[in-house]
């Protein structure tokens, strides 16, 4: 094999507000592998500052250099090579699937990759002023979304409740599904009280109400919550042999899988299997990847036949994304084979 990698800094069109801060840029690396027939596979190494466990660009570049050197010289990686680097494992899995595919980037052939069916997604609402959030909500509703995901936990909680009250005054729970994502912003001390106030607005679920790693507190919340809880950051960095222990102790109503943060599709399938044993439902979410990573996750999501809206609406966030066949039509993401990939950004310097 012949391998290399390329760094690319993505620029947000509109800064993305979360409880961890405002995002203006995000770094991705592209792993490019060529086999002896000159066929090329590409995968994305996507990291999020202060969230990914491998959020260290210097360490990532050293590890990617090691990976490239091993593939170029030996061709086979040690079995524990990806330990501590889930984003690189995701990229490697994606690149190998791409190498094996008959059509470029058709990793999981389906009605989706043939452009015959779309995948329902939620509309993402970033944090900001009440006016900014309300404007985003109106735009998404006008686009035809029936499921919205609101980032909460950064502005005044009473203002967030007012926004939810305003939405529900216009759209019932039968008409509009609302998910909220606190990104761990609430304190275990007053979280249950806040969940009670949020429950008045008939929410579908709340993602990660308190910071990850507080297993006893989260288990108590999952038992008493008036709103279904979806674990998100809680899954990052969890070893495969610990998955069933975590799920059995916490007993969440949902889990949310982000392949680039938890270590790829093999790990995602393991989470799905363990969750199924406990009747825990799930959905997949992209984690601010460019269209390379988003495409891989969208195809994987469609292959799992999960009818819940998936969190895959992040392809329109950047002004320097990689042009691709992915497009949003109404409240669905579609793959349109007649549209071309534009990969010149990945050319060698």
Q: Which of 196, 212, 204, 155 is nearest to 311 (CA)?
A: 204
3-state SS track over 51-74? CCCCCCHHHHHHHHHHHHHHHHHC
151 is catalytic: yes
- The rounded distance, in Å, linking the Cα atoms of 43 and 323 is 15
Tell me if residue 47 falls in helix, strand or coil. Answer: coil
Q: Which of 210, 150, 215, 204 is nearest to 185 (CA)?
A: 210
212 CB neighbour count, 10 Å cutoff: 17
Cα dihedral across residues 53, 26, 13, 328: positive or negative: negative
Which of these is catalytic: 2, 151, 200, 251? 151
The sheet carrying 229-231 orders its strands as 123-125, 147-151, 177-181, 205-207, 229-231, 254-257, 281-284
CA distances from 69 to 54, 66, 191 (A): 20, 5, 48
211 is catalytic: no
Which of these is catalytic: 194, 258, 304, 339? 258
The residues carrying an active-site annotation are 151, 258
């Amino acid at each position: 094999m012949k391998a290399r990698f390329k760094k690319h800094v993505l620029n947000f069109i509109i800064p993305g507000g979360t409880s961890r801060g405002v995002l203006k840029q995000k770094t991705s690396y592209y792993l490019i592998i060529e086999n002896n027939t000159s066929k090329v596979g590409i995968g994305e190494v996507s990291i999020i500052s202060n969230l990914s466990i491998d959020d260290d660009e210097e360490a990532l570049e050293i590890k990617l250099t090691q990976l490239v050197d091993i593939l170029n010289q030996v061709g086979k990686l040690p079995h524990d090579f990806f330990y501590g680097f889930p984003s690189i494992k995701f990229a490697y899995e994606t690149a190998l699937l791409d190498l094996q595919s008959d059509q470029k980037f058709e990793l999981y052939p389906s009605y989706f990759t043939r452009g015959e069916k779309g995948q329902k997604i939620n509309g993402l609402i970033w944090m900001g002023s009440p006016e900014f959030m309300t404007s985003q909500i109106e735009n998404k509703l006008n686009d035809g979304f029936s499921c919205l995901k609101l980032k909460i936990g950064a502005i005044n909680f009473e203002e967030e409740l007012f926004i939810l009250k305003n939405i529900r005054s216009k759209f019932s729970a039968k008409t509009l599904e609302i998910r909220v994502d606190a990104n761990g912003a609430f304190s275990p001390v007053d979280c249950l009280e806040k969940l009670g106030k949020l429950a008045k607005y008939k929410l579908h679920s709340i993602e990660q109400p308190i910071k990850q790693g507080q297993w006893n507190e989260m288990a108590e919340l999952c038992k008493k919550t008036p709103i279904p809880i979806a674990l998100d950051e809680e899954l990052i960095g969890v070893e495969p042999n610990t998955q069933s222990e975590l799920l059995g102790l916490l007993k969440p109503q949902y889990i949310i899988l982000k392949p680039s943060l938890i270590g790829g599709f093999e790990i995602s399938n393991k989470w799905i299997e363990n969750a199924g044993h406990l009747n825990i439902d799930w959905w997949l979410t992209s984690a601010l990847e460019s269209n390379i990573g988003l495409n891989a996750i969208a195809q994987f999501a469609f292959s799992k036949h999960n009818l819940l809206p998936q969190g895959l609406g992040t392809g329109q966030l950047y002004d320097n994304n990689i042009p691709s066949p992915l497009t949003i039509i109404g409240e669905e993401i579609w793959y349109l084979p007649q549209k071309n990939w534009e990969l010149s950004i990945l050319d060698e310097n």
